Structure 1
Amino acid sequence: MTKKSTRYCEPELVALLKSNNKVAFEYLYYHYAPALYGIICKIVKDENTADDVMQDSFIKIWKNIAHYNPEKGTLFTWVLNVARHTAIDKRREDYKYATTIKWDVVQEADLSAGSIFTPLPATVDLKSIVERLLPEKKQLIQMVYFEGYTHQEASQHLGLPLGTVKSRVRKALQELRQTFEVSGTHAQFARN
């Protein structure tokens, strides 16, 4: 287990993860698991399934960390996408056996204190940043990244062409990426 005072800048943490450092992986799990678990639970709707998806997600993260590219986004965004895609895949798999699916929105009131990602001082409030997007972009980001919709499902749900959905999501992500760019500094991850 890592010491309480251990701190990693993101590039250092990524380098350690890519070298299969067990302590760095424990550190990653300690800091990201609560946020990922909350999103996974909202997508799969079952705690037992969420536990399995969580385990599968971290196995995928461990096996695929070499594919992480910091130029495409932060480490948190990458691990969130791995977990989200794993949960969506599980939900699709289960859909074959279910007759109906309820697409509930992840409400802040539904999240327990343990499942909320508490930003560290070097991070920002993602929800408030997403709120600043134009309504059509904000809605798509919420649907695709917080509610588990695919681009195709969002297109069908909103009655928009698939190309429009993909274009708006891409533009929204570009805006969000610009917000997170900090020149000359790296976010520090510290154990609370």
Structure 2
Amino acid sequence: MAERQEQLVRTLYREFKVPLLRNVRQLTGGDQQWAEDVVQETVVRAWRNASRLQREPHSLWAWLMTVARRIVIDDRRQRGHRPQEVVADGFDAEPPPVPDGSEPTLSAMVVLEALRGMAAHHREVLAHVYLCDRSANETAATLGIPAGTVKSRMHYGLRQLRAALEERDEDREGGPG
């Protein structure tokens, strides 16, 4: 019995593999790999049902195409119920980088450190204007100083802040250019 089943599989591959693959490729929309998988599964099912198959070529062909068509339909239904598979370019492909959110925190720490090193009246004006989002006139009214003084302190405070940050970058990079 086992030899008869093996003989059937050899005959199926020899006589029907090429036309079956061609027809199944059309059913799979030209997907060669999927078509090959369907043909292989079709032949496995023929092997499992060898005792029930009729041996006439026309009957075998009709049975093979029916089974292949049902496999494709089942595959399509199954693909509709699960997410699309994504294949990586290679096994060693690295996953996409995930932002860790540490950069804004580090930047804030660097700016805070630079602010601590400047004069209190400059730091106060910068905090009102940039952190509290107030205009120069609103800051002047809140602090009880002229708007021109707020603008002057803002100008010199930003210069100090820029210089402190540039100095820090030079220290980190090993000195000036």
Q: TM-score, normalised by structure 2?
A: 0.36
Report which structure shows greater RCO (CA 8 Å, sep ≥6).
Answer: 1
Q: TM-score, normalised by structure 1?
A: 0.33
> Which structure features the higher share of helix residues?
2
